[in-house]
């Protein structure tokens, strides 16, 4: 894979909990000429922090990436105990994919320190792309509020305007650490939500994933196996092919927002009750009774992706990785 950022490439720090779809997102970000990955921050989520760091370093090897600093951050949410998504991503975090060990080493400083250093040193405002529970981002913004002046915006995969997956109403990344997500939304930094409702739409056909696995290219084989990771969602249900590009969609949104229906909407995170972790998105056209009667509290507004041109993102994802020919097979 050839990695060369264009002169006008967006400086990006990825915050990841590298499981299957984070791996796809990292590969996409490294391959796209409009994205300049200046660092990667790791947090526990899809897998333990140690596995997340190791998976991230090994995916950099798959991409034949130059040196990119990678650092470990939070091992658990701000308030909740650590939790695992092994039922989705497997114990390793990468499903059934097995990658060889790497000689790459993580930085000795924490990811919060690394992000602080990289943001202040950047000659251009940095975009933070959060593909994980937002614990690291919240800690950064609370510990080093000075970084806000050199952050362009925060693009995050998380939340939903409709259905949840961690609960009936809450998406995993926000549910995993809702206090952190609330801190990020209230930070004053412009935010963009690529939620579960659009995440669940962008799927690569199974025949294409199978063709990728049969390729002679290591990158192609890895992408095909990651797409082919089958999710068993409960006892009584067979594992099913989904083929989602997942978190990579948030990077597609960064470079091709025109494929999305986007609105600026009031957004908040529910912190209590069964709805804990739910992102409440106010899509009302007219003021409701709470506003009319002065009962409403002010919500922060965010750009929210509401719909997506699936075929456009499928082509963007595969073409960026040099795998577009698989669509013709």
Q: Give the HSE-up count for residue 137: Cα atoms under 13 Å, Cβ half-sphere.
A: 36
Rg (CA), the chain: 19
pLDDT number for residue 21: 92
Strand partners, 39: 13
Q: Provide the mean pLDDT of the chain.
A: 91
Tokens of 40: 């990667």
pLDDT number for residue 241: 84
Whole-prediction pTM value?
Answer: 0.93
110 with 138: CB under 8 angstroms? no
Name the percent of the chain in helix, strand, coil, to the closest 5.
Answer: 35, 20, 45
| Residues 47-88: tens digit of each pLDDT | 999 999 999 999 999 999 999 999 999 999 999 988 776 667
Can you give the residue ranges of every domain in the chain?
10-328
Q: Taking residues 172-197, what's their average pLDDT?
A: 97
Judged by DSSP in three states, 294 sits in coil
Pick the CATH number of 10-328 from 3.30.70.590, 3.40.120.10, 3.90.245.10, 2.60.120.10: 3.90.245.10
Tokens of 88: 């989705």
């Amino acid at each position: 894979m050839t990695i060369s950022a264009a002169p006008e490439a967006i400086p990006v720090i990825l915050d990841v909990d590298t499981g299957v779809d984070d791996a796809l997102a990292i590969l996409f970000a490294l391959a796209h000429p409009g994205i300049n990955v200046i660092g990667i921050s790791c947090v526990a989520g899809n897998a333990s922090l140690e596995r997340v760091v190791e998976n991230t370093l090994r995916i950099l090897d798959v991409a034949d990436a130059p040196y990119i600093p990678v650092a470990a951050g939070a091992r658990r949410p701000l308030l909740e105990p650590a939790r695992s998504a092994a039922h989705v991503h497997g114990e390793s975090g990468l499903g059934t994919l097995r990658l060889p060990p790497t000689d790459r080493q993580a930085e000795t400083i924490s990811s919060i320190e690394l992000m602080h250093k990289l943001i202040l040193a950047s000659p251009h405002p940095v975009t933070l792309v959060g593909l994980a529970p937002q614990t690291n981002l919240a800690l950064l913004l609370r510990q080093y509020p000075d970084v806000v002046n050199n952050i362009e915006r925060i693009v995050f995969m998380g939340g939903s305007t409709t259905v949840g997956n961690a609960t009936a109403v809450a998406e995993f990344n926000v549910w995993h650490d809702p206090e952190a997500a609330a801190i990020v939304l209230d930070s004053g930094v412009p935010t963009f939500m690529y939620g579960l409702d659009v995440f669940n739409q962008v799927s690569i056909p199974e025949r294409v994933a199978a063709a990728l696995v049969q390729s002679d290219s290591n990158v192609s084989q890895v992408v095909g196996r990651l797409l082919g990771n089958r999710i068993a969602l409960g006892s009584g249900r067979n594992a099913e092919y989904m083929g989602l590009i997942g978190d990579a969609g948030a990077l597609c949104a960064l470079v091709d927002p025109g494929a999305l229906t986007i609105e600026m909407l009031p957004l908040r995170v529910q912190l209590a009750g069964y709805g804990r972790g739910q992102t409440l998105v106010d899509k009302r056209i007219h003021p409701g009774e709470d506003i009319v009667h002065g009962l409403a509290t002010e919500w922060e507004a965010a750009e929210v992706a509401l719909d997506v041109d699936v075929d456009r993102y499928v082509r963007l994802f595969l073409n960026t990785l040099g795998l577009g020919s698989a669509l013709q097979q």
